[in-house]
């Protein structure tokens, strides 16, 4: 069945030569060819402020520069986040973006005072985290327990109802051969065709 797919490119460097952009493009092209509806957001091309207070998070307006992005979050059935691992987790720009768009009223709702837990507003959606890194992916999984990615999965995506959240990790990207990179693009096209 066709799905509504939102691809978020979370590499802060706007260079078109970044591997993250090639991976996202391969996924998007295959998904569109397979009949899925695809929207893309490249965070490096956006200008938005960081949240600084709880008051702003709970009661402030989503910046006008992120209005379409917030609408796309509600529209999407499947999310694909493509980003490099920086200091063991997501780049600050991606975290700041998620703080802006995963707000009360858009992604979750606070309960009435003393009445249980927050209500997830994005239930029924799924996601894939596509992460590039300089270390071997197995080392990040086994030695570091994928801690930075696990925090995003549990603390943000699962909290607002997005599950399952699957991971695709590409390690040793700086020394990868052309053949290996071609294989990664092939893998992304396979995932995109199925919108998973």
Torsion of CA 142, 127, 129, 170, to 10 degrees: 80
Q: What is the pLDDT of residues 60-115, one digit of tens each?
A: 999 999 999 999 999 999 999 999 999 999 999 999 999 999 999 999 998 887 78
Helices then strands, counting H and E runs in the chain, come out as 7, 7
Q: Which of 84, 80, 67 is nearest to 13 (CA)?
A: 84
Q: Indicate whether 40 pLDDT > 80.
A: yes
Q: Indicate whether 35 pLDDT > 90.
A: yes
Secondary structure class of 27 (helix, strand, coil): helix
Mean pLDDT of the chain: 96
User: Quick count: other Cβ atoms within 10 Å of Cβ 44?
Assistant: 16
CA-CA distance, 111 to 59, in Å (whole number)? 15
Q: What is the pLDDT of residues 166-194, one digit of tens each?
A: 999 999 999 999 999 999 999 999 999 99
Output the six-digit token pair for 49.
Answer: 């402020």
CA-CA distance, 86 to 89, in Å (whole number)? 5
**Distances 31 to 10, 75, 130, 141, 191 between C-alpha atoms, Å:** 19, 16, 15, 28, 8
pLDDT at 62: 96
Judge whether 192 and 26 are in contact, CB under 8 Å.
yes
The pLDDT confidence band at residue 145, using thresholds 50, 70 and 90, is: confident
Q: What is the pLDDT of residues 6-24, one digit of tens each?
A: 999 999 999 999 999 999 9
Judge whether 88 and 68 are in contact, CB under 8 Å.
no
Mean pLDDT of 12-39: 97
pLDDT at 117: 86
Percentage with pLDDT > 90 across the chain: 93
Q: Which of 90, 60, 76, 80 is nearest to 150 (CA)?
A: 90
CA-CA distance, 102 to 95, in Å (whole number)? 10
pLDDT at 23: 98
Torsion of CA 37, 39, 40, 45, to 10 degrees: 160
In CATH, which of 3.10.180.10, 3.40.50.620, 3.30.465.10, 3.40.50.360 is domain 4-194?
A: 3.40.50.360
Q: pTM of the predicted model, to two decimals?
A: 0.95
Mean pLDDT of 128-133: 98
The pLDDT confidence band at residue 144, using thresholds 50, 70 and 90, is: confident
CA-CA distance, 149 to 142, in Å (whole number)? 13
Output the six-digit token pair for 103.
Answer: 């707000």
Domain boundaries, the chain: 4-194
């Amino acid at each position: 069945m066709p799905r509504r797919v939102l691809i978020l490119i979370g590499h802060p460097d706007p260079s078109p030569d970044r591997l993250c952009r090639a991976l996202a493009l391969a996924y998007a092209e295959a998904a569109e060819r397979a009949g899925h509806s695809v929207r893309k957001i490249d965070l490096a091309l956006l200008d938005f402020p960081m949240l600084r207070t709880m008051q702003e998070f709970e009661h402030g307006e989503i910046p006008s520069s992120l209005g379409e992005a917030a609408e796309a979050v509600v529209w999407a059935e499947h999310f694909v986040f493509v980003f490099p691992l920086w200091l063991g987790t997501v780049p600050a720009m991606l975290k700041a973006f998620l703080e802006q768009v995963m707000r009360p009223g858009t992604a979750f709702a606070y309960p009435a005072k003393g009445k249980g837990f927050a209500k997830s507003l994005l239930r029924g959606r799924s996601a894939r985290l596509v992460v590039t890194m300089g270390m071997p992916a197995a080392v990040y999984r086994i030695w570091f327990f994928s801690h930075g990615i696990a925090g995003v999965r549990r603390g943000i995506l699962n909290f607002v109802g997005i599950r399952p959240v699957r991971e695709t990790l590409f390690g040793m990207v700086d020394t990868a051969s052309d053949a290996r990179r071609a294989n990664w693009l092939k893998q992304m096209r396979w995932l995109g065709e199925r919108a998973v």
